[in-house]
Amino acid sequence: MNALQNELGPYGLVVLGFPSNQFGKQEPGQNSEILPALKYVRPGGGFVPNFQLFQKGDVNGAKEQKVYSFLKNSCPPVAEEFGNPKNLFWEPLRNHDIKWNFEKFLVGPDGVPVMRWYHRANIATVKNDIIAYMRQQRGQ
């Protein structure tokens, strides 16, 4: 995401990160621990995000953040099946739920969701889709 922000930020891309602990309990710390964990543990090596990182919250289930309700209901699901239910920490499970960490959404400058990518989508594909969208917008 840092590379995307560096390369496409000058053209208007704004990357936003929303941590969640609903996928394998991979984000167990307090909000104040998230940045140090990124810097020193995972991925480590002094990594610092160059994009805005929001407070941790739920992206699925009964207590999901409203922005995620909006995003998920605006774009079709990227996969039909869920991972191992023992690693999913929300209820109820819904078809349009985010299936795992690092699922991505593209939202246009008008606030309308445009695209959604599977968590394992190749970052080159994501980048190419964003560039194609930006070019399309300039052509209008």
Dihedral angle at the C-alpha atoms of 51, 56, 58, 63, nearest 10 degrees?
-130
Q: What is the DSSP letter of 134?
A: H
To the nearest whole percent, how much of the chain has pLDDT over 90? 91
pLDDT at 140 (0 to 100): 63
* Among candidate residues 31, 42, 103, the one with its CA nearest the CA of residue 71: 103
Share of the chain above pLDDT 70, in %: 99
Mean pLDDT of the chain: 95
Interval 40-52: pLDDT, tens: 999 999 999 999 9
Reported residue count of the chain is 140
Measured between alpha carbons, how far is 70 from 136 in angstroms, rounded to an integer? 24
In 3-state terms, what secondary structure has residue 107? strand
Task: Report how far apart, in Å, the C-alpha atoms of 13 and of each of 6, 7, 27 are.
Answer: 9, 9, 26
Contact 82, 93 (CB under 8 A): yes
Predicted local confidence at residue 63, as pLDDT: 96
The pLDDT tens digits of the residues spanning 78-121 come to 988 888 888 999 999 999 999 998 999 999 999 999 999 999 99
CATH 3.40.30.10 fits 2-138, yes or no: yes
Which residues fall within 8 angstroms of residue 119, CB to CB, at 6 or more apart?
Answer: 99, 100, 101, 102, 103, 104
Average pLDDT for residues 1-28, to the nearest whole number? 96
Q: What is the pTM of this model?
A: 0.91
Residue 66 burial class via C-beta count within 10 angstroms: exposed 0-12, middle 13-18, buried 19 and up: exposed
